[in-house]
Amino acid sequence: MSTTQFLLAFFILCAAGAILPFLTPQRWLTILLAAIGSLAALVVLVVSAMLLAFGAEFHVTLWPVLTLGTLTLETDPLSAFFLFVTALVFLPVSIFSGTYLTKYLTHHDVRYFSLLYHALFASIVLVLIAGDVISFLVAWELMSIASYLLVNYEFERAESSRAGYVMLAMSEGGTIAVAIAFIMIAGATGGFGFSELRSVAPTVTDALRWAIFLLSFFGFAVKAGLIPFNSWLPLAHPVAPTNVSALLSAVIVNLGIYGIVRVNLDLAPTTGAAPGLIVLVIGSLSALIGILYATIQGEMKRLLAHSTIENMGIVAAGIGAAMVFVASGHQVVGAIALIAALYHLANHSVYKALLFIGTGAVEAGTGTRDLDRLGGIIHGMPWTSAFFLIGVLSIAALPPFNGFVSEWLTLQTMLRSAVLSSTVIKTIFAICGALLALTAGLAITCFVKVFAMGFLGMSRSQAAAEAREAHVGTRTSLALLAVLCVLLGVLPTYVIPVIDRAVVPLAHESATAALVPPFFTANAQQPENLPAPFLSEFHDLGAQVGREFLPGRGLVVLHRGEERNPVVFAMSTSYMLVALAGILVLIFVAFRLLTRYRGLARAAAWDGGLRHLSPGLTYTATGFSNPVRVIFAALLHPAADEGSTEAVAVHFRTAIRREYTEVHIIDRFVVQPPITILRNLAEVARRMHVGHVNAYAAYVLLALLLVLIVGVGLL
């Protein structure tokens, strides 16, 4: 079958998924959704694999619109990559939905959920395969509305309505900015197909180019959740159903990144380093602010939402770096940066979906998502804990999981800024690199807190003590994603050439072809431009060990500073996995040997000789992250609300109350000031409304006079 036929089958499946639920009895609804959703996702997987890895093509011309042009659908390797990632997430989320949605069967209409779910899937795919401005914008709007309706699924709850409203309003604002940017580009050409836009891009004036960049970047940044437009993310995630949250964080925010890459690297590539630097700085700041607020959250979904902001920041930083390198003429390094960003995007989708589904499983098993009331659920939910642990290790960027690979690549590209000439740019790169490193440290703190406080230790509530293991369907989706995390981490040398295909049209150079030394490639695609002394030195490092039987030997980043002494940074997660496994086996064997003649006693933790250690005497999640709150108090600006009550006399206190409330730093500096100014202006303008008809008549007269004067003046 050709790609066109596959995609047609996909849309038919989505239509079936939207309509069939209205014809099926209630007890089959969730299974139906899971089945059709998974099947649709598989179809898209196959199509995107064909497009990306096997060089297939897709181009369909639809009907013409007025005199503007014709609607087209076409893909290139970039959109194929995003299609692949989307389907990779939709598959396990659909399987998970099969069991998760049963809790909505009683009070909500799951048929509409299924309709919206498949509409969302279809609109996302449409966005990615759109070949011209109008189809893009139409699909984009459909996607926004579908996602809003899904997020606001429990519309009867006040916070859900409010969150959905904020999300929709910000999304529409972004869409307007994007639309204006597209119109600006399209206005210069006359047609609105992407290929036409590409051809006219070099002739655009500087001012227009800046306007296009700013509007499109900030417009898409809303969808991607970058600062200063991230306020909707932490509001929307906790109120949405968990499978929708997974889609939000793992698929929909990717579309924002897709838009940024598409417009600023493909359709209207930026010139000069400044736009790239803006993207880089905003990305780094998003990363830091995102993880900072994630660390102090106590509710799992809100924590993961802030973490999404962090990861999108890292991706944006990579893209910004790529834009700077490409604009400065270092295409190969730019290609590395773009590969790092896209790899991180894929990784994030996989492990964020894993973590969200895990959160859904925890919520189903214990009834709560509050880390301060969980604890010790590893006993009741061993499988979920194991898979969740893999997700935690991945997002904390620990080897040999996937987060480590993309984090390593991103930091390497920050270091590659040494090839640039301008000191100012290099300083900015250094500062952003430091911010990313700080982010990585905080990420480990945050997710150690999540796993240790949520799953280990003593159960802090009755619900946590009685945790039940998740349903088989949930465990399947978790297992699928966990395996993906491991594979993406251990086999990066197979993944990167695939991503490279998506990057080549953008960076105009292939990183793998230029950089990978001969003994790291399986095929004979030898780079001839590597100096011989370097090759022999590398040989001595033992890079050849086991290359016959170990999969994916290693990742290499070269710094071609001088021809004589190129600097090589290499790491191999597959080697790491083998070494790790070997060490674990050795330890296990040693342990067995040493304890053969000794006894092994199991006892409760040492508690200082207390009669009884209750959970209230163990650390809570808030306590664990409180030092971070204290250290960053200048940024977080917590407002304390304290009080104490006494009985009889001041030294017999009976209760002490202490609450901290924080307003997000972006809200404080970016969102609230304009609102305050607007309010003040409105207060001033309110004085116009005196309430007398005479005054309003006078206003009409004044307006008429003004129009006459201006009109006469213009004439």
Partner 1 sequence: MANWVLKGLRTGVKSSAYPNRPDDAPGVSPGRPMGTRLKSPTAADELVARCPTQAIARENGGIAIDQGRCIHCSRCRRHVGEAAAWEPGYEWAAQTSDAATALRKLAGMFGRSLHVRFVDAGACGACMSEARQINNPYYNMHRLGFFITPSPRSADILLVAGPVSDAMRLPLRKTYDAMPTPKRVVAVGACAASGGVFGPSFAALGGAAEIIPVDVVVPGCPPPPLAILHGLLVAVERKPPSALVSAAPRPTTGSA
Partner 2 sequence: MAMLDRIDDDAAGAASFPELCRSRWRGEVVATLDEAQRACRVECGPAHLRDLCQWLTRDLDFAFATLVVEQTPPTGWSLLYAFYKDAKSPWVHVELKLDAAVSAVPSIADLFHGPSFDWHEREVEDLFGLHFEGHPRLGEFILHEDWPEGVNPMRRDFDARKRFEPRAMEPKWEPPTIVTAPGAFAMPIGPVFSDFAESAHFLLESVGEDVIRTIPRFFYKYRGVEKIAEGQPADRALLLAERFSGIAAFAHGLAFCQAVEAICGIKPPPRAQALRTVFAELERLRSHAAAITGICNSTALAVATSQAALIEESLLRLSCEITGHRYLFGSVVPGGMACDLSAMDCRHLTDAVFGIAQELRSLLQMLRYSSSFLDRLEEVGIVTEDKARSYGLVGPIARASGVARDIRKLFPYAAYGSVDLSVPVEQEGDGYARLRVLFAEAEQSAAIIGGVLSSLTEGAVRADHVRLRAGAALMAVEAPLGAAFHWLRLDDDGKVIRYRVTPPSFTNWHGFHLAAENFAFQDFPIILASFGLSNAECDR
Report the partner that residue 382 touches, choosing among partner 2, partner 1, none (CB closer than 5 to 8 A by kind). none
Report the partner that residue 298 touches, choosing among partner 1, partner 2, none (CB closer than 5 to 8 A by kind). partner 2
- CA angle centred on 149, ends 143 and 155, rounded to 5°: 165
596 lies in the site for partner 1, by CB under 8 A: no
Report the partner that residue 601 touches, choosing among partner 2, partner 1, none (CB closer than 5 to 8 A by kind). partner 1
**Min dist. Cβ of residue 452 to partner 1 (A):** 20
For the four alpha carbons of 426, 315, 82 and 184, in that order, the dihedral sign comes to negative
**Min dist. Cβ of residue 606 to partner 1 (A):** 5
- The residues binding partner 2 (CB under 8 A) are 298, 372, 607-614, 616-627, 629-630, 647-649, 651-660
609 lies in the site for partner 1, by CB under 8 A: yes
Question: Which residue stretch of 198-206, 503-511, 606-614, 692-700 sits at the interface with partner 1 (rule: CB under 8 A)?
Answer: 606-614
**Min dist. Cβ of residue 650 to partner 2 (A):** 8
657 lies in the site for partner 1, by CB under 8 A: no
**Min dist. Cβ of residue 302 to partner 2 (A):** 13
Report the partner that residue 713 touches, choosing among partner 2, partner 1, none (CB closer than 5 to 8 A by kind). none
Q: Which is nearer to partner 2, 633 or 710 (CB)?
A: 633
Q: Which helix (H) or strand (E) holds 555?
A: strand 555-559
For the four alpha carbons of 682, 683, 684 and 685, in that order, the dihedral sign comes to positive
The single-letter code of the amino acid at 77 is P
Count of alpha carbons within 13 Å of 490, Cβ hemisphere only?
16
Q: Which residue among 524, 601, 650, 655 contacts partner 1 (CB under 8 A)?
A: 601
* Cβ 422 vs Cβ 416: under 8 Å: no
**Min dist. Cβ of residue 613 to partner 1 (A):** 11
Burial grade of 296 (CB within 10 A; 0-12, 13-18, 19 or more): buried
**Min dist. Cβ of residue 649 to partner 2 (A):** 4
* Cβ 550 vs Cβ 579: under 8 Å: no
CA–CA dist 229, 670 (Å, integer): 9
CA–CA dist 339, 449 (Å, integer): 30
CA–CA dist 110, 103 (Å, integer): 10
Q: Which is nearer to partner 1, 608 or 674 (CB)?
A: 608
CA–CA dist 155, 150 (Å, integer): 10
Report the partner that residue 603 touches, choosing among partner 2, partner 1, none (CB closer than 5 to 8 A by kind). partner 1
599 lies in the site for partner 1, by CB under 8 A: yes
Q: Which residues pair with 658 in a beta bridge?
A: 642
CA–CA dist 516, 513 (Å, integer): 6
Q: Which residue among 63, 606, 642, 674 contacts partner 1 (CB under 8 A)?
A: 606
Q: Which is nearer to partner 2, 608 or 713 (CB)?
A: 608
From residue 580, give the alpha-carbon distance in Å to each of 387, 530, 613. Answer: 18, 32, 36
Q: Which residue among 611, 657, 689, 692 contacts partner 1 (CB under 8 A)?
A: 611
CA–CA dist 69, 186 (Å, integer): 11
Report the partner that residue 141 touches, choosing among partner 2, partner 1, none (CB closer than 5 to 8 A by kind). none
End-to-end CA distance of the chain: 65
Q: Which residue among 25, 55, 542, 608 contacts partner 1 (CB under 8 A)?
A: 608
Report the partner that residue 712 touches, choosing among partner 2, partner 1, none (CB closer than 5 to 8 A by kind). none
* Residues at the site binding partner 1, with contacts judged by CB under 8 A: 599, 601, 603, 606-611
